[in-house]
Chains A and B, each alone.
Chain A
Amino acid sequence: MLNFLEIHNQMKANSIALSFKGNVTFELVDSIIIIISDKLDHLENDINVRKKVYGVLTECLQNLCNHIDKVDEVQVNEKYDVNSAVIMVDTEEDAYLIRTGNFIPNDKTEHLKKWLEEINLMNKDQLKELYNKILTNKVFSDKGGGGLGFVDIARKSGKKLEYSFQKIDDKYSFFSFQIKINKNKQV
């Protein structure tokens, strides 16, 4: 007999847990953001933490969509579904956790890695300076942001970006990305 009472009990009360694997579209991203922000409105009292989680999630998921857009659908790998991604949102005692995983073409990994390394070397003031430099350079990417996404994620979370790349064949690598947003301890 099916009985999920134990699973229900194991999942922490007053927390957010969401996992998704599949094709990521802008419609899906919108739905996830609506679900998470509704839950946050109920669970998180601190307006700044709420807005940070909302903002970081939006940037992570829109990033994901923009990357996946560029994966050539003709290329297939027998072992992995390179057009699908994973999204996980989780709550720890003192932080919210956002994790994404997606395939990117091997020729893009070096550039992305360098960019993330560069961001991680910067302190708060340097990140603000970089943000403003990109903001004011008048170059609009086709999606509008022009490379502000990861800088904004680093600024909002105040944490180092955690990531890894794993090469799966001569075409693709798997990009794992994780960011934490601390809860406000005073609340």
Chain B
Amino acid sequence: MDTLVIEPKSKTPKINFDASVGHMEISGISCAENSVEFYKPVIDWIDNYKNEIKKDTTVDINYKYFNTSSAKCILDLLERFVNLKNHGTNLTINWYYEQDDEEMFDAGSNFSEILEQPFNLIEIEQ
């Protein structure tokens, strides 16, 4: 399947999903007023990945900020990542946050709690 690459814009994050190595990366800002539209192809891609799933899947997520319009979409896509475990992959989710950024740290732990899936919460220097 094709690698999904979406370049970052002022209100949408960078997406780089590579099925051949089982590595998915999301980084940047997500604050479009209508996020459903942006995340649709991203979510579709995850659903298709099931058919070519790798033994190990690593997800690197590094949001600087997301708005409430994005929050539901992010939960939706995280849930789909977690469900990949039912298709026989070892899943690792790394959630990065800027040093001292309590909000993004809390957001990561909250998603992890809701999904009952451990995340590696990793602090990065600003």
Residues of A within 8 A of B (CB): 26, 29-30, 33-34, 47-48, 51-52, 54-55, 58-59, 62, 65-66, 128, 132, 135-136, 140, 142-146, 148-149, 151-152, 156
Contact at A149–B68, with CB atoms within 8 Å? yes
* Contact across chains for B114 and A51 when beta carbons are under 8 A apart: no
Judge whether B75 and A30 touch: CB under 8 Å. Answer: no
B53 at the interface (CB under 8 A from A): no
Q: Cβ of B69 and Cβ of A145 under 8 Å apart?
A: yes
Give the contact stretch, choosing among B16-24, B87-95, B97-105. Answer: B97-105
Docked complex Cα distance between A179 and B99 (Å): 27
The docked-state distance in angstroms from the alpha carbon of A146 to that of B114 is 18
Indicate which residue in B31, B35, B73 contacts A58 across the interface (CB closer than 8 Å). B31
Question: B residues within 8 Å of A by Cβ?
Answer: 10-11, 31, 33-36, 65, 67-73, 75, 98-103, 110, 114, 126
A156 to B107, CA, bound (A): 12
**B100 to chain A: which residues have CB within 8 Å?**
47-48
Residues of B within 8 A of A54 (CB): 65
Known: A47-B98, A51-B103, A55-B103. A143 touches B34 (CB 8 A): yes
Q: Which residues of the partner chain A approach B99 to less than 8 Å between Cβ atoms?
A: 47
Is the beta-carbon distance between B68 and A148 smaller than 8 angstroms? yes
The answer for the CA separation of A144 and B77 in the assembled complex, in Å, is 14
Tell me the bound Cα distance from A29 to B32 in angstroms.
Answer: 11
Interchain CB contact under 8 A, A136 and B114: yes
